[in-house]
Chains A and B, each alone.
Chain A
Amino acid sequence: MSVRTLPVTRGGIGESVPRVDAVPKAKGTFLFASDLWAEDMLWGFTVRSPHPHARIRSIDVSGALAHPGVRAVLLAGDVPGRKTYGLEFADQPVLAWDRVRYAGEPVAIGAAEDPETARRAGERIVVDYEVLPAVTDMAQALRADAPRVHDFGNVLRHVHIVHGDPDAPADVWVEGYYETAVQDQAPLGPEAGLAIPAPDGGVDLYVATQWLHVDRQQIAPCLGLPAHKVRLHLAGVGGAFGAREDLSMQIHASLLALRTGRPVKIAYGREESFLGHVHRHPARIWMRHGARRDGTLVCVRARILVDGGAYASSSAAVIGNASTFACGPYEVPNALVDGTAVYTHNPPCGAMRGFGAVQVCFAHEAQMDRLARALGRDPVELRLRNALRTSSVLPTGQVVRGSAPVAAVIRRCAALPLPPEAPPAGRGDPRAYPGGCGNVSRGERLRRGVGFAVGYKNIAYSEGFDDASAARVRLRADAAGPIAEVRSAAAEVGQGIHTILAQIARTELGVERVAILPPDTGVGSAGSTSASRQTMMSGGAVQAACAAVREALFARVRRSLARPRGELRLAGGLVLLDGEPVGPIAAFLDEPVEAERVYHHRPTRPLDARGQGEPHAAFAFAAERAVVEVDEELGLVRVVQIAAAQDVGRALHPQSVQGQIEGGTAQGLGLALMEELQLRDGRIRNASFTDYLIPTIADMPPVVSALVEEPEPGAPYGAKGVGEPATIVATAAIVAALRDATGRELNRVPVRPDDLAGLAPPVAPVAPPPPPPQGSGPEPVPWAHGLATGQHELLQEPAHEGAGEDPRPWERTRGGTGS
C-alpha cells in the first residue's frame, strides 16, 4: 500500500528559488532604464551650476537653439506648474531661476536629435552668474552670520530627546568625538528614463526609481497635470541604495517630451550621476556614556550634527533616525540626544542604505568599546549585558513590542568560527596581503585585529507616517493550468522583491506559475523600496490579496461540493478538503478571481517636544565581527573575514538574505576604508569610478552569516526587512578591528592609510558642540513654512486611477492582516 504524500507547492516562501529576473539579467537581455529606446526619440541634456551659491543674472539660450538638431531648451519660466518639488518638502527648484544653491544644480534643460548634438547644445547655453558667499561647513551654517541657504534659515530640523534623568550619576564616563564622511550610493546603473508624450496630453514615463507613486506626486504638479495623466512605469533599475528616492531626470524628461511632442530620453553619465543624486549625510557626533562598575549603562548624552546640503530631501527623517538610534540597541535608562540637520551650499544629502543609523552606530559602538576598556570588561559581554529585548523602553519612551533578539544576534555572531591565522610573512600568496593583487606587501609588519559591533534600525516608515502598500492578485487558468498574476507597484531595484512576491503567491494560492506584472502607477502605491520595508509591506499586501482571492475561490468550491463543510486548502495546484484532493485549482477558474488589498503596518506616533513618542513600527538588529590585518607601516588593510548574525524574523529566501548581508557589508566596508565623496568649497572632486573608490573583488573578504529567525508578530510570515542592518554594523565592526590591530583612536571614517600608519592624529572638533538651535520644535523647519509635500500628501490626496478603478484602493483594508 502506497503512502499518500501531501501535495506541496514548489517555489514558495523559505526556498531559495531562482530569481524571477535572473535569467534575462545573466543573458544581458534585461532592459535597464539606460537601455530604453523609442522611435523618433530625442536625447535630453541638463545644464548645471558650476557654483555652490550664485545669483543668476541672465541665461542666453540663443546659441543652443540656433544649433541644428536642437528641438527645445527650457528654463524655469517654462515649468508650467509648481516650480519646486521635493520628497518631503517642496524646497528644490525644478530648474533654478534666481539663485543656485549647490554646484551641480540644474539650471536649464534641452532636447536634441542625438547625444552629440545634445552635448554641444548644452555647451552653448550661457549663464551669467554673480557668485555669492557660500556656507559649506555644517557647524558654520548654524552661526548667526552665516549666509542663508533658504530665506527661513539654515536649520532643517532639530530633534531633542530627553529620557529619564540625563544628569544621573555614573561610576565611569567615557567621551568621544566622531566624524563620518559623505558616502555615495554609486549604483552601477546611472539615472535614466524615457518620457513619451501621450495623446491625452499626459505623459508616460519609464524610469528607474524606488517609488513610482511618490515620483508622480512630485512630477504632476510641476507639469501642471492631474496625477492620472502622469503614468509612471518601472524601467530596469541598476541598483538604488537610496540614490533613487529623490527625483533626478523625471520632471525634466517629462517637460521636454510635452514641449516637443516626442519621446525624450535622459541618461546620465557617471559624473552627472554623482551630481544628480543625494548622498549619505556627513556627520559630526559628540557622545558621552556613563555606566555602573558592573557594566550597566546609566546614561548616554549625544550631540549629532548632519549636513543636509542645499535642499531638504529626506534629511528630516534621517536626523530623526540618527537621533532615535543614537544610543544603540541597548537599554539606556537616562539619555539626552540633540540632533540637528542643517542646510548648507553643499550638494544635497538624503537617503542611503542605513539612513542615519550608520553614522550613529559608528559612534555608539566606538563608545561601547571605550567603555569596555575603561571598565576592564569584555566588549561582547558588555553589549550582552545591556542588550535590548522585547518590552525594553527606548529613549523615545517607545516600548519594543516586536521581536528583539539582540542577545541571540550577539551570541550567534560571536560564536561563528574565526578564520585561520595568517601565514608567516613572505610565505602567503602576495595577493592575500593588504593591498591586494599588486606586488604591494609580503606580510611585513602585519597586525591582526578583531572588532565587534551591534546595531539596529527601523523597518518601514516612521514618526506617524501612514505607510501602506497595495497589491492586486488575479488567479486564472489557461491551457497550462492555474496562474497567479501579481500586480504591485513595488520597485524591484535588485534586492529581489519580485521573487519574494512570487513566492508568497505560490505559498498562499498553491500554484507554481506566477506572473509578476510590470510595476506602474495603474495600481495603488506600494510605497518606497526603502527602509527595508518591501518584504513586510508589499509582501503583506500580496499575502492579503491572495487570502482574499483564496476565500473567493473557496466560496466557489463550496458551492460545487455536495458536502461543503471542512477545511479547504490550496497546494500543488490542487484544492484540498480536509487534506483530500477535490480537484485541480484550474477546474474552479472558468472565471478568474481577483482581489486588491492594502497593507498598513502598526501605526506610529511622531515625537513630541521632548522627543517622546512611538516613532517606529518594527526593528531589525545585526551584529558583525570583523577580522582585519593591517600593515602598520603602510597603513594598508586586508579585511580577512566578516562574521555576521542578523535578526531577519524569518528568511523567506535565505540565499537573497545572505546576498543582502554580503552586499550590505561591502558598502559598510567601503565607508570604513575608502569611500568618501570629497568636497572642496562645495564642489565634488572625485565624481568618477577612478577617484570615488568602491570595493573591488580583491578587497572583499568572505562573509560568514548566521540568520537569527525569531518571527516578528504581525508581520507577514514573521519576516523582517533585511537590506540595511549589515551596512549599519559593518563600518563600525571593521574600524573596531582596526583599533584593536593598531591601538589608534580612528574616530573618522573612512580610515585612511595615513591614520593607520600613525601619520595623522585623530580628528578633533574644530569647535565645541553647537548648542541646540533656538525656537525649533520637533517638526522639520520647512514644514512650518508650508513646504510639506511629496510623500506627506501622497496618502491624503485622492488619486484618480481611471475608469473602473477604485479611486482610493488603500482605504479598502486597514490595519494589516497579521499572519
Chain B
Amino acid sequence: MLRLPPFTYLAPRTLEQAVGQIGEAGPEGMLVAGGTDLYPNMKRRQFEPKVLVGLRGIRDLGRISGTPAQGLAIGACATLAQVASHPAVAEGYRALALAAGAVSTPPLRNMGTLGGNLCLDTRCNYYNQTYHWRKSIGFCMKKDGDICLVAPGSPRCWALSSTDAAPAAIALGARVRLVGAGGERVVSAADLYRDDGMRYLSKAPDEILVDVILPPADGWRSTYWKLRRRGSFDFPILGVAVALRSGPGGVIEDARIVLGAVASRPVVATRAAGLVMGQRLTADLIGRVAQAASEPAKPLDNADLTIGYRKRMARVYVERALRELAGLPYDGAPGGAR
C-alpha cells in the first residue's frame, strides 16, 4: 500500500510566513501546492521531506490579473483548470490554456496548480517507481544511488522534463517571480530550467515561485500540441509550443518554438525560430523549420515508446503546430477514407 512518509505540514496564510517557514526548514523542507505530483512521489519515496509548506492557503497566490493588452499575471497557485478556462488566457495566451487543459485529468487539474506544473519533477522510468522496485535494481543517482541507469557511463541524470505548462510559458515569453529570504527576483521562464535531470530548476529550494508574468499579447498567436497515447491521464511523450508574432502581410516578426519532454529541460529551438523571422510561412518553409526544430531533441530510452519514434514526432508536431498558426490546410486525405 502506498503511504506517505511522516512529515509536519505547515499552512501559512501569507507569503512572508511561507518564506520564513521554508527557510527555517532548510534542506528538510519542501513546498507543496496541489500535491498531485509531489504526493505520489513521496509515497514512492522519491522525496522524504520532514516539513511541507503548503501554499494553497495564501490567498494572493491564486489570483489572475491584467488583460492580454497590458499583460497578465497568474498567481502560481491558480489551478490548471482555472488557467485552462480563463477567458483572458484563452484570448491572449492560447498555448498556455491548451497546455494547462491537457495536463492529466479533470480532478487533477482542479487540484494541480500552474506553479506546481512549472516545477514538476523530471521523470524517468527507472526513477518513477516505488522504493522497493528501485532498490531491487540498485538505485539511480536521482535518488538513493550514484549511477544513471539509462546511460550508465554518464556523469549526469537524464530524467525528462515532463511539464506541459513550461514549453507554453517559455514560448509566450513569460517571466516568473521568485521570492525568497533574500528578496525577490524575476527570471525568464526559460531561465527557470537547467539541463540536469536532478537539479532541473534554477530556483533555490527555499525560493517560492509566486507568479507567472505574461507580456502583452498584441500580435502574438500561439498553440500547444501534446502527444500522448490515451485521451487523458498520460504525461506528454512530446509537447510542442509555438508562438508567432506577425506583421503586415503575414511576415513573421518574432517566433518562439519550444519542445517539451525531449530533454531534462524544455528545449528552445532558437535556430529553427530564426528561420521564420522576416518570412511568410509557406509549406516548404514550415518543413525546413520543423526539421531544424527537431534536431536538438535527443530523447533517451527512459520513457514510453522508442527513441526513434519520439525524435521523429518532434518534427511532425512542430510542422503541424506551425501549419495551424499559418492557417494552412490540413495535410492528408479529408475524412481519411481509403
Binding site for B on A (CB under 8 A): 48, 50-51, 103, 115-116, 119, 267-272, 421-426, 431, 435-440, 442-449, 629, 632-636, 673-674, 683, 685-687, 689-691, 693, 695-699, 741, 752-754, 757, 759-760
Contacts and interface: CB of A to CB of B under 8 A. Distances in A.
B336 A443 contact: yes
Residue picked from A437, A632, A697, most chain B C-beta under 10 Å: A437
A271 B131 CA distance: 11
7 contacts: A50-B136, A267-B1, A439-B102, A442-B320, A446-B335, A693-B230, A741-B338
A268 B228 CA distance: 29
A320 B87 CA distance: 61
A448 B338 contact: yes
Interface in B274-315: 304-306, 308-309, 312-313
A119 B43 CA distance: 12
A525 B227 CA distance: 50
Contacts of A426: 329-330
Given A443-B336, A445-B332, A447-B336, A690 B128 contact: yes
A36 to B, nearest CB: 15
Given A448-B335, A690-B40, 11 more contacts: A50-B135, A115-B1, A423-B335, A442-B330, A446-B333, A674-B229, A683-B137, A687-B130, A696-B230, A696-B232, A698-B232
Contact of A691 (B3, B125, B135, B338): B125
A629 B336 CA distance: 8
Contact of A759 (B3, B304, B306): B306
B333 A753 contact: no
List 3 A-B pairs, minimum CB-CB distance, nearest first.
A436-B231, A698-B231, A446-B336
A444 B228 contact: no
B223 A439 contact: yes
A646 to B, nearest CB: 27
Given A271-B130, A754-B306, A442 B1 contact: no
A695 B230 contact: yes
Contacts of A425: 329-332, 334-336
Contacts of B334: 424-425, 443
A683 B133 contact: yes
Contact of A438 (B102, B304, B332): B102
A633 B316 contact: yes
A754 B228 contact: no
A267 B2 CA distance: 11
Contact of A698 (B2, B125, B230, B332): B230
A268 B1 contact: yes
A435 B228 contact: yes
A582 B306 CA distance: 76
A311 B42 CA distance: 34
A271 B316 CA distance: 35
A674 B233 CA distance: 13
A635 B309 contact: yes
Most buried by A among B229, B305, B330: B229
Interface string B174-187: 00000000000000
A440 B225 contact: yes
Contacts of B128: 690-691
Given A438-B102, A754-B309, A674 B338 contact: no
A754 B308 CA distance: 8
Given A438-B102, A759-B306, A443 B226 contact: no
A456 B103 CA distance: 41
B234 interface: yes
B83 to A, nearest CB: 14
A388 B263 CA distance: 55
**Which has the most chain B C-beta neighbours within 10 Å: A440, A695, A699?**
A440
Contacts of A741: 338
A759 B312 contact: yes
Contacts of B335: 421-425, 446, 448
B306 A760 contact: yes
A442 B102 CA distance: 15
